[in-house]
Structure 1
């Protein structure tokens, strides 16, 4: 961390492209875009991966590390239209992830964009659904411009089902499950190398949980045996597998209470408090929420607190002094967050821009100056973005939407205005010029504030393909 009395300057590098994920990281994907069937050819082998765009930067995961969750909001009815008879009788309940993205649901697709041309015969790969286990049937279909459905995969009429897919294809379909519960879908990719050698992934398991209720939630951290009065108790909510939901509520129930009651203000994954004899035999549980719906609830755990130990006691006064005559303004970035990798850009909805979105990651501003002059944090990509071979575009094509994610109780930090990426003939210069991330007025800057921003890259469609790197300089004065 670099400390400067009147200003602090740090730099972070912004890259475009996906990053690999840890093989041991177990995740639940419940909302947002993902290429569930992501075909790769690496080290002479054809492989199936999962490209997870629900996080920024995007990561490539092993299917064994992923559970795909079809949330209860996906429940709907089979339309009363003859063309949709393939899904069941009109009015039958189904759980559908639609072909067109719904921000409240998962949007899985398939992708052969990682395959190079000229490696496979006819530049094609065959993706097959070779097995489906679960409480109901599974159907993948897409619709043409007239709304007529075309089946891609369907377990009800026998498997395997095969789909020939050209390389550099990215597509989505409707995924329909006829009953809630846990499913295992077995996908396989096959191709022939241009030299005549066949290659295959073999069957690869994909886990789907439909309709909720399968996400595990437990409470850890409670010590075996009794706590002594005055001990610190820390309870931890644990999702199995770990997912993207983060809104919790802790509940407690003393022996004489008729039911569990929410613990006010305790909405994080961890809950800490001091053990007292009055809390002996109190039960605790935690619930995980998706919006207003309970996604999972733990079993209760019981706290046991011993009687106070006999004997004498004494108290000691401890005095701490903070020297207000010294101080500094410090802007810092966690070393793990100094590189931000944006997902590969895709065409905008209007088809006239290449766009990608991500997160700046937390930036910390700490002001310990006794005079409380206030501060302004800003950022700029002054030198633009460049590839290793010299191609470039201006920093103004990157914009942000700032946010103050945390600050002290006496601070008054305010997020800066949206910096819109540059478009010819329209207002907005993005981060090509200095853009305010946040400000704290005089008298309200003392303390530590954590800042972040949603990043948006938007470049013209004639921008040459490549990986571009730029330096975002962050300044606090």
Structure 2
């Protein structure tokens, strides 16, 4: 029997587990608040028509830019007094499209008639954080303003929107700077049940902006143990469409930083070793913006003394033994950060089991079977869990002795409700040698596949894979 520690990182906040394209939208048409009902869930998305074909994005991946050209002044008309004093500076994305500015609107054209009571949903602005006030309004054919949302007189503000609606308004900001608008959509289904998107943040950058910055998250405050996995994450402020990165390191005693070959993503993951103790890390964006350094500290070996003893063993060739083992220096398997499946309904990650050795010296050749199971599932340090059945594998034979006759086990499919397959939650065959075979040494491996529901809590999960040969 042998054991392997499996570390399955399912989700990071703004991490490789959530490695969608970050974009900044500054000109052209977009349904900024795109209300959809999919798989029984009400959702807020962004329909980006600034590209062709249009792309549906998550609001967390988008920054809406109100360019300096949007600056204007409050008209000297009493009906527009809600925007401020006449002549006050404001930044407005107008109701009628200006090709030099962003033209955001809201959209329910994807909602079907008969799904919701009254064929309508309620869109609410429940929060607006930023240096100034935010107002959304449209005007009638006679030029009379009609306020939709206004933060200056208190929120939330609610607007009933019929299905099949595509609408635009003027978006007005009273000051330059960074804003977060928090929208929420609610509806009552035709059957009487209620659904809600919950609060969803939308980021806006208004007017002249200062140079952004980038920092490194993820470096622990204390010491790492040799063999621990370190995951560093580059975080931009504000978030832009700049997706070009380069990671650098500088070991103690070195004069300058050295680019880490191949590390050009938003995250950098590696294994802590004593040789890296005291190493400083930086990340640089494509525009030259460079982060402050962070340092890695790796624990010293435990103090004490050691000695060695010679051990002599005699193998009785007439009886022999069956042994399954893993390399003592390679007992931990860390899967890459999980990403959304192509269907968008699972968090998934794949990686190699790393070779497992089975040696059979029994001259009777009774055959053997090697199996694996994650019986106790996966757990985070703060107690979140998921079952071992969400991990599966595809076994392979790396090498075997001449005539050993070892056959790889079948694919163990991760558990999905309503489908066959229980993954490694139950005992699954890694390989087998039939009766009359198996004598010698075989090296086994498997491609691991983790597939968990999208509502799995974020965290780093660890489980134990128990390997058995009988």
Bin of the TM-score, shorter chain as denominator length: 0.3 to 0.5
| TM-score, with structure 1 as normaliser | 0.42
Give the structure with higher Rg (CA).
2
What TM-score results when the alignment is normalised by the length of structure 2? 0.43
